[in-house]
Structure 1
Amino acid sequence: MQTHFTDADRQKPHIQEAERILRTCVHCGFCNATCPTYQLLGDERDGPRGRIYLMKELLESPEDDDQVTEETRLHLDRCLTCQNCETTCPSGVEYHKLLNIGRAEIERRVPRPAAERAQRYALRKMLVDPKRFAALLKLGQTFKPLVPGKLRDKMPPAPVDAGMRPAADRHSRQVLMLEGCVQPGLSPNTNAATARVLDRLGISVTPVSEAGCCGAIDFHLNAQEEGRERIRANIDAWWPHVEHGAEAIVQTASGCGAFVKEYGEMLKNDPAYADKAQKISALAKDLVEILRDEPLDELQIKTSQRLAFHCPCTLQHAQKLNGAVEGVLTQLGFALTPVQDAHLCCGSAGTYSITQPELATELRDNKLNALEAGNPEMIVTANIGCQTHLAGANRTPVRHWIEVVDTALA
């Protein structure tokens, strides 16, 4: 794709990055074939190729260009950032990086209405602090009939009891674990089950309470500088443990895992943190990357439970781990039902299911129809956002996959 930036613009790091990405696009349109929003809406501007053109025009236009409008922002907002297009693209276009640049620019140049700004600010404040979120969740569950519909659907009943965690110093092998921001409130058993399963394999989990939200929520809501501050805080919290030999930083939410793996990219221009961020990204592992290399036969699980696995976009498209969880579950004896169009997004996408509820609900229902076609006893997934979004339909039970492994062990 040809670009027409001024010499002055080309001195700006974000324009240099955008131009590099834009020039890899060959206009082929293969991306539209697998884009969930294009499939639903049929509008070129709601597919990756159309959005790339919109961002090109935005970034090339002068500050006072009246062609840059709220309509441009709407089409960028509708993107799920599922990265399905990147899996499909034959030219290797790093679409999500361009989208981060485009969204930051449109946010700067076209201010949102006050109500939207207030909603996004409230979401950031409610979701990123685990203690605050847990308190608000408990309050919301107490007064559930009064909670607005799209938020009420996100609130599960009382979560599964987390149970006991093994001591953090039982084994010589040590990993850190990102506890997350909403997961401890919505599904506290996920991290506890992870610690128990890893303990059976001779690996101790060290939680680091000082490490909070990974920063993805801020990026979802275009508060990118605030997201980078969270990244720096997490690096500071993990660094002493890294220096003492922690072999990995485990994430049980694939959305967090995909984001932590990009810390090095996010802070590559920060001289104080660039090297540390690269190290943290190298140590970041999704839980399945740990388990698949362990002697799983030692767990001695015997089960024939029928499961449908929903592979989150952040696992299959961002982390390129499609099939990894399915392989572990099959090896452990679980029976997996086939899922048609497993590459498509469920509509959760961070805060998307709140900011774009109509599209998210349609995507969720389509995904559930595909997951339930094989009559599974339970749906399992690898990301708290997907888990909560799918469970909000109150159809087939939805859990994190490590919880069914932990239950089979018990």
Structure 2
Amino acid sequence: MQTHFTDADLQKPHIREADRVLRSCVHCGFCNATCPTYQLLGDERDGPRGRIYLMKELLESRDDDDQVTRETQLHLDRCLTCRNCETTCPSGVEYHKLLDIGRAEVERRVGRTPKERALRYGLRKALVDPKRFAALLKAGQTFRPLVPGTLRDKMPARPVDPGKRPDGRQHARQMLILEGCVQPGLSPNTNAATARVLDRLGIGLTPAPQAGCCGAIDFHLNAQEAGRQRIRANIDAWWPAIENGAEAIVQTASGCGAFVKEYGEMLADDPVYADKAKRVSALAKDLVEILREEDIDALNVKDSRRLAFHCPCTLQHAQRLGGTVESVLTRLGFELTPVRDAHLCCGSAGTYSVTQPELSKQLRDNKLDALEAGNPELIVTANIGCQTHLDGASRTPVRHWIEIVDDSLASAASSMPREARPA
């Protein structure tokens, strides 16, 4: 795609990056075929190709150009950032990088209504602090009938009891884990189950309580510098363990994993943190990347339950790990039911289900139809946002896949003679 930036424009790092991405696009339109919002709305401006044209027009225009309107902002807001278009694109267009630039620029010029500002500020403050979120969640569960339906559907009535989390300090192999911001409140068993399964494989998890939200919520709600500050804080929290030989930073929420893997790019121009951020990104691994390399057959899982796996966009499109969890679950003996249009987003997309509830609900209902068509006993996924979004409307229980593996290990252990059980 031809661009028309001036030499002065190209001295600005964000314009230089936008120019690089724009020039890689050949406007073929293959991306529209797999774009969830284009499929729902049929509007060129609500597909990747149309949004790319809107952003090109935006970035090439002057600040006082009246063609840049709130309508441009609406079409960019409707994007899920699912990155399905990147998987489809034959030219390797890094659409999400252009989108971050375009959203920041249109917000700088157009601003937000007071209602939008209040909602986005509230989401940032409510979600990113685990203790604050847990307190708000508990209050919401207590006064559930008073909570708006969009939020009420996302609140589990009672999270699964996390049980005992092993102390893995006796293991020679040590890994870090990102505890997350909303996951400890919504699904505290996920990381506890991860610790138990890894413990069985001879891997201990090194705690880093100072690490908090990965930064994605701030960043994608256009508080990008606040997001970078969270990145720096997490690097500081993890760095002592990294220097002591931690071999990986495990992510159990694929949305966080996709973001942490880009720390190196986000702080590439930071003279203090650039090298550390690059090292952290290299160490970041989704949980399934750990298990697929281990001798999981030795776990001796014997479970033939029928599962439908929802592969989050951040796992299959951002991290390019589609099919990996399915392979691990199949190796462990689970039966996976077929899922129609498995490449499409469920509509959760971080805070999208709150900021764009109508579109999100349509996508969720379509996804549940596809997941439940095979009559699974359970739906499993790899991201807390998808899990709570689907579970709020599903007839079938929805859980993180590692919890089901952990359940199976516990059931197998309980059926053994006491002297043969794992310590």
Please provide the CA RMSD for this pair: 0.6
Deviation readout 1:21-80 (Å, 9 max, x if unpaired): 000000100000000000000000000000000000010000111111100000000000
State the partner residue of 1:141. 141
State the partner residue of 2:56. 56
TM-superposed CA distance for 1:294, in Å, is 0.4
State the partner residue of 1:150. 150
The whole-number CA distance in structure 1 between the counterparts of 2:15 and 2:358 is 33
The whole-number CA distance in structure 1 between the counterparts of 2:352 and 2:166 is 36
State the partner residue of 2:421. none
The whole-number CA distance in structure 1 between the counterparts of 2:207 and 2:309 is 27
SS of the residue corresponding to residue 180 of structure 2 reads: coil
State the partner residue of 1:208. 208
The whole-number CA distance in structure 1 between the counterparts of 2:272 and 2:60 is 31
Q: Are 1:91 and 2:91 an aligned pair?
A: yes
TM-superposed CA distance for 1:81, in Å, is 0.3
TM-score normalised by structure 2 residue count: 0.96
State the partner residue of 2:263. 263
SS of the residue corresponding to residue 379 of structure 2 reads: strand
TM-superposed CA distance for 1:394, in Å, is 3.8
TM-superposed CA distance for 1:256, in Å, is 0.2
State the partner residue of 2:326. 326
2:83 maps to amino acid: Q
State the partner residue of 2:198. 198
State the partner residue of 2:404. 404
- Where does 1:159-308 land on structure 2 (aligned, <5 Å)? 159-308=159-308
SS of the residue corresponding to residue 68 of structure 1 reads: coil
The whole-number CA distance in structure 1 between the counterparts of 2:391 and 2:189 is 16
TM-superposed CA distance for 1:207, in Å, is 2.2
2:121 maps to amino acid: Y
Any conservation in 1 of the 2:201–2:294 contact (CA below 8 Å)? yes
State the partner residue of 1:313. 313
TM-superposed CA distance for 1:106, in Å, is 0.8
TM-superposed CA distance for 1:371, in Å, is 0.5
Q: Are 1:367 and 2:367 an aligned pair?
A: yes
The whole-number CA distance in structure 2 between the counterparts of 1:223 and 1:154 is 24
SS of the residue corresponding to residue 155 of structure 2 reads: coil
TM-superposed CA distance for 1:220, in Å, is 2.0
State the partner residue of 1:26. 26
- Deviant stretches of 4+, over 6 Å: none
SS of the residue corresponding to residue 208 of structure 1 reads: coil
State the partner residue of 2:416. none
2:75 maps to amino acid: H
SS of the residue corresponding to residue 174 of structure 2 reads: strand
- Where does 1:103-114 land on structure 2 (aligned, <5 Å)? 103-114=103-114
Structure 2 runs not aligned, ≥5 long = 411-423
Deviation readout 1:128-165 (Å, 9 max, x if unpaired): 00000000000000001011111111111110000001
1:302 maps to amino acid: K
TM-score normalised by structure 1 residue count: 0.99
Structure 1 runs not aligned, ≥5 long = none
2:287 maps to amino acid: L
SS of the residue corresponding to residue 23 of structure 1 reads: helix
- Where does 1:72-87 land on structure 2 (aligned, <5 Å)? 72-87=72-87
The total of aligned residue pairs comes to 410
TM-superposed CA distance for 1:6, in Å, is 1.4
